[in-house]
């Protein structure tokens, strides 16, 4: 497997990446990219000049995963969006390699932090279907994964939950925000930051 930048002139890879979005999000986030035209628009947006768009190719040269990143905060913070792996290739480390690759791409561009929003639209965590304005910090601290929500993947990758947007996708359907610094924290011998 190799990870390369998706090229605007490679229609085969663009179509494969779009199909991955439709298939990869169909079960738990069906409204994200419900059809190929909406997914193709997402891929085309990801190919913009201020974005990062990387694909994982198998030995036959087919797209089996892809990840993108969007610059914000004057290039200091990048949103990981989207991230998808072909269902037939999951649990083989492809998602991990794509995230690590995006982190390196962000570092090379002078970014400091990468973040991801991970929606819970159908009760996959203990943060769904509750009033998050009631004791929010305690609810985040005690989050439970009820149905295989991907936030645990991000935690294993070194991300931390940095917040939640209550009702982002409708009443009781939050967006879980996770972030990770992609450069080492500058320290002195005493552990105090240098500025």
**Given this model, what pLDDT does residue 189 score?**
46
What span, in angstroms and rounded, lies between the C-alpha atoms of 182 and 132? Answer: 29
Task: Indicate whether 185 pLDDT > 90.
Answer: no
What span, in angstroms and rounded, lies between the C-alpha atoms of 192 and 123? Answer: 41
Mean pLDDT of the chain: 94
What average pLDDT does this structure show over 22-38? 92
Write out pLDDT tens, residues 80-131. Answer: 999 999 999 999 999 999 999 999 999 999 999 999 999 999 999 999 999 9
The fold of 112-185 is Aminopeptidase (3.40.630)
Query: What dotted CATH number matches 1-90?
Result: 3.40.630.30
Question: Do 1-90 and 112-185 show the same overall fold?
Answer: yes
**Assigned token pair, 156:** 């294993």
Write out pLDDT tens, residues 152-172. Answer: 999 999 999 999 999 999 999
What span, in angstroms and rounded, lies between the C-alpha atoms of 92 and 122? Answer: 26
pLDDT bracket for residue 186 (50, 70, 90): confident
The structural domains of the chain, with segments of one domain joined by +, span 1-90, 112-185
Share of the chain above pLDDT 90, in %: 90
Q: pTM of the predicted model, to two decimals?
A: 0.92
Contact between 18 and 40 under an 8 Å Cβ cutoff? The reply is yes
Q: Length of the chain in residues, anyone? A: 195
């Amino acid at each position: 497997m190799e990870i390369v930048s998706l090229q605007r002139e490679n229609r085969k890879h663009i179509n494969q990446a779009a199909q991955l979005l439709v298939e990869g999000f169909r079960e738990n986030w069906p409204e994200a990219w419900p059809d190929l035209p909406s997914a193709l628009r997402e891929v085309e947006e990801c190919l913009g000049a201020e974005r990062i768009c990387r694909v994982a190719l198998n030995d036959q040269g087919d797209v089996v995963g892809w990840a993108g990143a969007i610059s914000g905060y004057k290039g200091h913070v990048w949103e990981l969006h989207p991230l998808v792996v072909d269902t037939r290739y999951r649990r083989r480390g492809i998602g991990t390699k794509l995230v690590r690759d995006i982190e390196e791409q962000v570092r090379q561009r002078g970014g400091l932090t990468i973040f991801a929003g991970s929606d819970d639209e159908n009760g996959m965590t203990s943060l769904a279907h509750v009033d998050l304005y009631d004791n929010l910090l305690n609810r985040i601290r005690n989050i439970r994964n009820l149905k295989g929500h991907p936030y645990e993947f991000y935690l294993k990758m070194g991300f931390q939950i940095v917040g939640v947007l209550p009702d982002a996708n409708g009443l009781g359907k939050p967006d879980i925000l996770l972030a990770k610094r992609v450069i080492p924290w500058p320290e002195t011998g005493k552990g105090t930051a240098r500025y």
